[in-house]
Amino acid sequence: MAAQAASETTKKAAEQARTAAGELADELALLKMQVEELTAELAGHGKQKAEAAARQMAATAREGYEKAAEGASAAYDETERLVTKRPATTLALAAGLGVLIGMALSRR
């Protein structure tokens, strides 16, 4: 009788262990799926942040380019105005600058 009771207790314990193992496997599968979903969501969020940062950098670069283009255009216009207003002075300045550059290059 004691052997039979021990055998039944062992069978019940084995069945409970199988049931617990099955439940644990199900929970692990669910956890794995949730981790995969979270990883995909975080990757998408990171991609969105990177795209937003890229758009911001492009906008900043575009603004810098536009400011530089405006400054260059203004400088060109001013230079053109001065050359037209004082051509002799401009020619003398260009000649003097050419002499200085020539002297600097000949010393090397």
Each residue's pLDDT expressed in tens, for the chain with a length of 108 residues: 656 665 677 777 677 777 877 888 888 888 888 888 888 887 777 788 888 888 999 999 999 999 999 999 999 999 898 889 999 998 998 899 999 999 999 986
Q: What's residue 1's pLDDT?
A: 63
pLDDT at residue number 2: 58
How far is the C-alpha of 17 from the C-alpha of 47, rounded, in Å?
44
User: Which pLDDT does position 42 carry in this prediction?
Assistant: 78
State the residue range of the domain holding 50: 2-106
The 10 Å CB-count burial string (b at 16+, else e) for 9-42 is eeeeeeeeeeeeeeeeeeeeeeeeeeeeeeeeee
pLDDT at 4: 65
Report the number of distinct structural domains present in the chain: 1
SS (H, E, C) the chain: CHHHHHHHHHHHHHHHHHHHHHHHHHHHHHHHHHHHHHHHHHHHHHHHHHHHHHHHHHHHHHHHHHHHHHHHHHHHHHHHHHHHHCHHHHHHHHHHHHHHHHHHHHCC
pTM: 0.47
How far apart (Å, rounded) are the C-alpha atoms in residues 45 and 33? 18
The structure tokens listed for 22 are 């099955």
pLDDT score, position 103: 92
